[in-house]
Structure 1
């Protein structure tokens, strides 16, 4: 599998390298988040009229409100590189009604934001319980490798809007998700990938919040993804998450980045 499935999903380069390894090893996974059966949880969307006087954050204000390294325990926060940022024209869908969902998943700001910025958040590898003081058994080696690969990377995109546009963006993504549960094909800078198994996940945060789990497939490799969309005031933030071990088909559930979402909402509040 080419690195584009993850790199062009605007996730960290380390995850892209792991996806290449997953392809070589023949790993695949249809698992979704353990909370995927739970209904979506969020506050009721306010009417657009109630948001008409909301002022958009400027580029400088949005940068200040974005996560920085040290804001989330056990996570490395970095500013996304230029190669990670996609434009609307870079992402298309075989079904027009699914395009808002595809744009959210691939961290493309919707509509006409006043400003936008992006970060990556990567969890620190978990420590293994395996005994490394002497000769390691095959199980110890497997446990150590699995622990080192149980790392999640999240692309965080923030976009600020004038008036009720931010709430409209969340509504559009919700509508697209509901219309596309049967799946669709998204093409990202020329590379087609099939998205299936789109299900709602439980999430809370901000003034509006929604989350989904899904599986992306390209060239026979299946990788579980998580998407969270949160609106706080005039800003919409999307969180796209992949887990390295899950990408390799390991018995690891993809968890939504709750601590990252909470920290980002706090900085925007």
Structure 2
């Protein structure tokens, strides 16, 4: 059967960095700043551990964000921006970029190596929410938002052959100047026919010249609603 898959075997939209559970580090990173260590305050505008105490926040390096975005693709060219948006990609030419990642079931800092290995094995049951924050000049944020809306409208029927996808409206998001919310449903098709069903959630919010993208993924089921994280991030933007 083909329903056993790695984080890269779904489109990068559905990739969860389970290996981060083994690192035991928390924080966030920006394109113009160093990574924050465990318990450190981020210093940037993207949400970090100091903002979301109920979740485990993970460091996202420039290299990780760039690699994930580069790997994300879609069968239909018009759908590529939507696929990449779920993998730390920010459209257009943001002046600054920041990334963070929240895991819904944090691992205790004092966990043993055996417990960390066990957590890695079970990590697919967690929801990981990727957060990408970009600041733009002029109408850059408006244009980036419009690009993603156009892609979602064009790709309602899905954008991958290997894993049939449908895209529909997600739970309404309030706050910011403009907001989009989508649910994307994947059905993993194996040699024996349809198999695992996965629902990811994508929220895009523009607030002034800032664009924030939230991609919630659970590789074995339905991702948790990211709106609580969205609300905290918008509050932090002021």
Instruction: Please give the TM-score of this superposition, normalised by the length of structure 1.
Output: 0.62
> Structure 1 16/170 Cα, relative in aligned 2: closer, same or farther at 3 Å?
farther
* C-alpha distance in 2 between matches for 1:81 and 1:218: 30
Determine helix, strand or coil for the equivalent of 1:261.
helix
Write the distance in 1 (CA, Å) between the matches of 2:64 and 2:159: 23
Corresponding residue to 2:220 among 229, 233, 248: 248
Match of 2:183 in 1: 213
Larger Rg: 1
Residue 55 of structure 2 is matched in structure 1 by: 75
Name the Cα RMSD after superposition: 3.3
Higher helix share: 1
Shift of 1:82: 4.7
Question: Which blocks of at least 5 consecutive residues in structure 2 are unaligned?
Answer: 23-30, 34-41, 107-122, 191-195
Partner of 1:3: 7
Q: Secondary structure at the match of 1:205?
A: coil
Q: Deviations over 1:74-105 (max 9, x none)?
A: 11122213553136643332212212211212
1:128 — aligned with what? Answer: none
Q: Which runs of 5+ in 1 are unaligned?
A: 18-57, 126-147, 186-191
Asked which structure has the greater RCO (Cα within 8 Å, sep 6+), the reply is 1
1:219, CA displacement in angstroms?
A: 6.1
Q: How far off its partner does 1:216 sit?
A: 3.4
Find the aligned partners of 2:132 and 2:187 in 1 and give their Cα distance.
23
Structure 1 runs of 4+ with >6 Å offset: none
TM-score (norm 2): 0.70
Deviation at 1:218, TM superposition (A): 5.4
- Pairs aligned (count): 196
Where do residues 53-72 of structure 1 align in structure 2 (5 Å cutoff)?
59=32, 64-72=44-52
- Secondary structure of residue in 1 paired with 2:163: strand
1:141 maps to which residue?
none
Per-residue deviation, 1:166: 0.3
